[in-house]
Structure 1
Amino acid sequence: MKTIDRMLFLVTVFSLLFAQTVGASDGAEVFDIKKGEIILTINNSNSLQNQVKDWLSSVNGTAGSLNIEPSDGIAIKIPLVPPYKVNNDWITGTVTEVVMFISTSKTYYPTLLVFTKEKGLVAVHIKNKSLQRFLKKNKLFNAELNLTEPSIH
């Protein structure tokens, strides 16, 4: 009996580990807004997850526009695996996914759409200190993209 219980336990553990690995490997999707298609998938690594956590900790205000999605540029959809708890002036809750919108328009600032389990979604602006480095690392950088921060009054 003990051998059967141990085997069932190991099968269950390996099944859970495999399921988590499959979910974590789905990665981030980069969407070309004008073309209307996914142009790249980025592996869901610790580095990617840490990048999102950095963005979430560098929020400097909410996006005031009702038009959250720009008409051009890119959108990067990143699931958080596991979900990440955030508690700051703009976001309180367990973040499950984010979408970073970046446009070429000089009047559209990079906007992070944050999905939480508790409150649905919120659109925020971030301090962009690491955004250019992230884009270059993932071969997404384009000098025409507007990476400036909105002026805070």
Structure 2
Amino acid sequence: MYKKVFLLILLVTFCGNIVCGAEGEKKVEIFDNKSSSVVKTLSSSSDIQRETSIIINNIDGVYKKLDPIPKTGYMIKVPLVKPVTVSNEWFYHLVEEVIIILPQNDDPHLLLLDDEQFPHFFTFNHGIDDLLSYIDFEFRR
């Protein structure tokens, strides 16, 4: 299972490095877990950054299910324009990007990487409809 998680993290991060333009602009990416490919890339906006910040600030627990990366569904990688210190009872690190996991048959959850790139999965109590609207992405469970 850990091999699968790290492979997906590396794939998402690698794709992000390729997509960065000559100026080094970080792009928001939507990754389809079933096809293992990036299906949409777009520039970030202040709305996307704000909504991602709200989601981070609404972490309400550790994701406890066995397989945090579903076989079907999507992952949205949002690089943060300004790194944010996430400080709660489960995690205290500077975060440069957030990966929001949208499983096909479960509630969304987050993947945050610590300073050593170790993955941490969290639940949050904020809707994702606004974020999906800002990235112009339709997701049906």
State the TM-score, normalizing by the size of structure 2. Answer: 0.75
Aligned to 1:52: 52
Q: Is the 8 A contact 2:33 2:73 kept in 1?
A: yes
CA distance 1:118–1:71, shift in 2 (3 Å): closer
Q: Secondary structure at the match of 2:61?
A: strand
1:136 aligns with 2:133: yes
After the TM superposition, which parts of structure 1 deviate over 3 Å for at least 4 consecutive aligned residues? none
CA distance 1:136–1:82, shift in 2 (3 Å): closer
Aligned to 1:63: 63
Look up the equivalent residue of 2:137 and give its one-letter code.
L
Distance in 1, matches of 2:66 and 2:80, equals: 25
Alpha-carbon distance, 1:126 to partner: 0.9
Aligned to 2:85: 85
Percent identical pairs in the alignment equals 24
Alpha-carbon distance, 1:64 to partner: 0.3
* 1:41-78 alpha-carbon deviations (Å, 9 max, x no partner): 12122222222211110011110023110111111112
Q: What root-mean-square deviation, in Å, do the aligned CA atoms of Structure 1 and Structure 2 show?
A: 2.0
User: Equivalent residues in 2 for 1:18-29 (5 A)?
Assistant: 22-23=23-24, 25-29=25-29
CA distance 1:111–1:33, shift in 2 (3 Å): same
Distance in 2, matches of 1:119 and 1:90, equals: 16
Look up the equivalent residue of 2:114 and give its one-letter code.
T
- Relative contact order (alpha carbons < 8 A, sep ≥ 6): 1 or 2 greater? 2
Distance in 2, matches of 1:141 and 1:94, equals: 30
Distance in 1, matches of 2:48 and 2:136, equals: 14
State the TM-score, normalizing by the size of structure 1. Answer: 0.69
Q: How many residue pairs end up in the alignment?
A: 120
CA distance 1:36–1:120, shift in 2 (3 Å): closer
Q: Which runs of 5+ in 1 are unaligned?
A: 1-20, 146-153
Based on CA coordinates, which of the two structures has the bigger radius of gyration?
1
Q: Which has the higher strand share?
A: 2
Q: Is the 8 A contact 1:26 1:43 kept in 2?
A: yes
CA distance 1:137–1:96, shift in 2 (3 Å): closer
Distance in 2, matches of 1:110 and 1:38, equals: 18
CA distance 1:140–1:36, shift in 2 (3 Å): same
Q: Secondary structure at the match of 1:22?
A: coil
Aligned to 2:108: 110
Distance in 1, matches of 2:82 and 2:61, equals: 25
